Amino acid sequence: MCPHTPTCPDAAAPDREAARTIISHPEQGWSLLCNGIVIFDDTGELLPGGDSIGPHRPTDMPLQTQGAGHYSGPAAAPGSPAA
C-alpha cells in the first residue's frame, strides 16, 4: 500500500507521524499521511481505525516551564542604559 522506500511507519508505530504527507490542506489545517493518519495543525491526529489523539506537542502552549520569561541575560543590568 505504501509506495515509498523506505516504507512509511505504520499507523500504529511510535513514529507514525514520520510518514509521508500525501494530501495537504494547510488552509484547512490538516494533512493526510501515507499510513492513513490525518494530522491536524494543532498536532491532534485521526487514526485510520477511527480513534483520535488530542494535541500532544507544545506548539500552541504558552511557555510556562521553569520561569524562563524572567531571564533577561547577564548584560542587562538595571539602571545602565547603553551609552
Stretch that binds Zn ion, among 2-10, 24-32, 46-54, 71-79 (CB under 5 A): 2-10
**Which residues between 7 and 66 bind Zn ion (CB under 5 A)?**
8, 20, 34
Q: Which lies closer to Zn ion via its Cβ, residue 4 or residue 25?
A: 4
Distance (Å, rounded) from C-alpha 40 to C-alpha 71?
Answer: 33
The residue among 34 and 39 lying less far from Zn ion, judged by its C-beta, is 34
C-alpha–C-alpha distance, residues 64 and 81, integer Å? 29
Nearest 5°: the CA angle 21, 23, 29 is: 95
How many residues sit in the footprint of Zn ion (CB under 5 A)?
5
**Which residues are at the interface with Zn ion (CB under 5 A)?**
2, 4, 8, 20, 34
